């Protein structure tokens, strides 16, 4: 009698790309020493995510598998997804990151997962800039201060004695607003 080697099934815990994805695993399999789970695109509709989780659990070695946990994640731009984060929260963060990139992840780190709200993000997000100095330059220009300062100089005769203290403005923005340094630049929030 010739013995055939058992078929080995190896699951990896690495997502194929960097879209916001979660690796969802069966807890009963995990507790029994088996790795059983799958990567899921967290941008999918919540119902579709739940369907994929149910399908993964149905293929478990444990016919009664019901519980799952998030054992890995990728594409969340530095935001830490917790093991028992709700699918609703994960989906909201993933879609925000898909639309706004790293800035949304920075916003969620700032306000927490209880306040996940696209409206809240859009209300306080001022933009992403190469540096805080670049933001200050843009802010000063948008406010029209250089032109107003020039007019004041002409009318007052103060000439070069009056200027804009860009360094002090940078310090003020760091103290008064939320300035978050990221890989894509500096994310500015006025909360």
156 compared with 34, residue with greater pLDDT: 34
The average pLDDT across 114-127 equals 81
Does a structural domain hold residue 53?
yes
- pLDDT at position 159 over 80: no
Confidence band, pLDDT 50/70/90 cuts, at residue 115: low
Nearest in space to 8 (alpha carbons), one of 34, 26, 37, 40: 34
Average pLDDT over the chain, rounded to whole? 87
Does a structural domain hold residue 146?
yes
Domain residue limits at 59? 21-100
Q: What total number of domains does the chain contain?
A: 2
> What are the Cα distances from residue 72, in Å, to 15, 22, 24, 161?
9, 6, 7, 58
pLDDT tens-digit profile of 50-88?
999 999 999 999 988 999 999 999 999 999 999 999 999
Same domain, 92 and 31: yes
Same domain, 29 and 86: yes
Same domain, 28 and 83: yes
The average pLDDT across 115-121 equals 72
Residues of the chain with pLDDT > 70, as a percent, come to: 88
Confidence band, pLDDT 50/70/90 cuts, at residue 144: very high
Same domain, 30 and 78: yes
Same domain, 25 and 95: yes
Single out the residue in 100, 116, 150 at which a domain terminates. Answer: 100
- pLDDT at position 133 over 60: yes
Does a structural domain hold residue 86?
yes
Same domain, 134 and 95: no
Same domain, 95 and 37: yes
Half-sphere exposure of 166 (CA within 13 A, CB side): 12
- pLDDT at position 12 over 70: no
Contact (Cβ atoms closer than 8 angstroms) between residue 112 and residue 93: no
Does a structural domain hold residue 171?
yes
Q: What is the model's pLDDT at position 118?
A: 63
Same domain, 34 and 96: yes
Q: What is the model's pLDDT at position 9?
A: 32
Reported pTM: 0.78
Does a structural domain hold residue 48?
yes
Does a structural domain hold residue 47?
yes
Same domain, 89 and 142: no
Interatomic CA distance for residues 131 and 60, integer angstroms = 49
What secondary structure does DSSP assign to 20-77, as a single string?
SEEEEEEHHHHHTT---EEEEETTS-HHHHHHHHHHHHHTSSSTT---EEEEEEE-ST
Confidence band, pLDDT 50/70/90 cuts, at residue 117: low
């Amino acid at each position: 009698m010739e013995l055939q080697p058992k078929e080995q099934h190896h699951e990896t815990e690495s997502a194929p790309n960097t879209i916001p994805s979660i690796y969802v695993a069966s807890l009963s399999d995990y507790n029994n020493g088996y790795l059983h789970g799958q990567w899921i695109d967290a941008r999918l509709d919540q119902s579709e995510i739940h369907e994929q989780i149910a399908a993964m659990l149905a293929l478990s070695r444990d016919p009664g598998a019901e519980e799952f946990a998030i054992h890995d994640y990728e594409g969340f731009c530095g935001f830490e997804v917790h093991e028992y984060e709700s699918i609703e929260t994960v989906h909201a963060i993933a879609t925000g990151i898909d639309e706004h990139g790293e800035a949304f992840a920075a916003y969620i780190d700032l306000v927490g997962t209880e306040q996940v709200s696209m409206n809240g993000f859009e209300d306080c997000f001022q933009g992403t800039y190469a540096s805080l100095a670049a933001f200050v330059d843009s802010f000063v220009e948008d406010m029209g201060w250089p032109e107003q300062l020039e007019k004041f100089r002409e009318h007052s005769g103060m000439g070069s004695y009056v200027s804009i203290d860009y360094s002090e403005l940078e310090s003020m923005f760091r103290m008064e607003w939320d300035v978050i340094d990221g890989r894509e630049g500096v994310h500015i929030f006025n909360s």
